[in-house]
Amino acid sequence: MSVNLNIWVIGLLILSLFPSNECDNDYGLSNCIEKVGSSFIRIDFGGFEQFLDEFSLYKIVPILKKILSLELFNWKGRISRGELIYYYMLYQAMVLLLVILIYSIGTILPTILLKNIFLYSILTIFLIWCFLYVLKVLIQRLHDSYSSAFWIFGLFIPYVNVYVIYLLLVKGSWQYIESSK
């Protein structure tokens, strides 16, 4: 029995759009205020209605410019849960375009040795790009949830990976707020 991971990822992304009803807690759940040193951070989430109001395919063009330039190697910054959906949609579109390209090249070019070398080189370059793309998105999403990028290694450890998925898909974005003193 095979399980389609795309269905699970889309389902978790959709579920992550629904806000928590917690108003103030100490455990890093969404919609909370935590003390960090002498300052406070607030982890907010606007809700599903805010995501639908702001949804636009025009947001994909700047993402496309970022990932097809040298900015792919700049892992600083943050990606919110809503932006994660855009990055996922763009990733799926790029994979679809690669499949169409490889199929087209495979059917158009005659069966010669150079065709296989050409197809393997395109596939290798694309796999390296996919690895860097996914790594960048995961690191920036972890930064947005006020977590260290080293939590990526937790994806390979059983039971810890559940917490890392929580950090990636459920925990809201953070921002500094002024302290009362």
Q: What is the pLDDT of residues 60-119, one digit of tens each?
A: 788 888 888 888 888 888 887 778 888 888 888 888 988 888 788 777 776 666 667 777
Say if residue 25's pLDDT is above 50. Answer: no
Distances (CA, A) of 49 to 19, 36, 82, 170: 10, 30, 11, 16
Pair 151, 167: CB distance under 8 Å: yes
Say if residue 4's pLDDT is above 60. Answer: yes
- Phi and psi of 47, rounded to 5°? 105, 170
Tell me what pLDDT residue 3 has: 61
Phi-psi bin for 81: left (phi > 0), alpha (psi -120 to 50), beta?
A: alpha
Look at the chain and report how many structural domains it folds into. Answer: 1
Tell me what pLDDT residue 153 has: 92
**Which structural domain, as residue segments, surrounds residue 152?**
5-177
When the pLDDT of each residue in the chain is averaged and rounded to a whole number, the result is: 75
The encoded tokens of residue 138 equal 């995961």
Say if residue 29's pLDDT is above 50. Answer: no
Cα 161 to Cα 47: distance, rounded to the nearest angstrom: 25
**DSSP string spanning 15-52?**
HTTSPP---S-SS--SSEEEEETTEEEEEE---HHHHH
Percent of the chain with pLDDT strictly greater than 90: 3
- Higher-confidence residue of 152 and 56: namely 152
Say if residue 36's pLDDT is above 70. Answer: no
- Higher-confidence residue of 90 and 24: namely 90
Tell me what pLDDT residue 59 has: 77
The encoded tokens of residue 46 equal 């606007």
pLDDT tens, residue by residue, 130-141:
899 889 989 988
3-class secondary-structure state, position 93: helix
Say if residue 129's pLDDT is above 50. Answer: yes
The encoded tokens of residue 114 equal 């150079």
Q: Which amino acid, one-letter code, is at 168?
A: L
- Higher-confidence residue of 57 and 148: namely 148
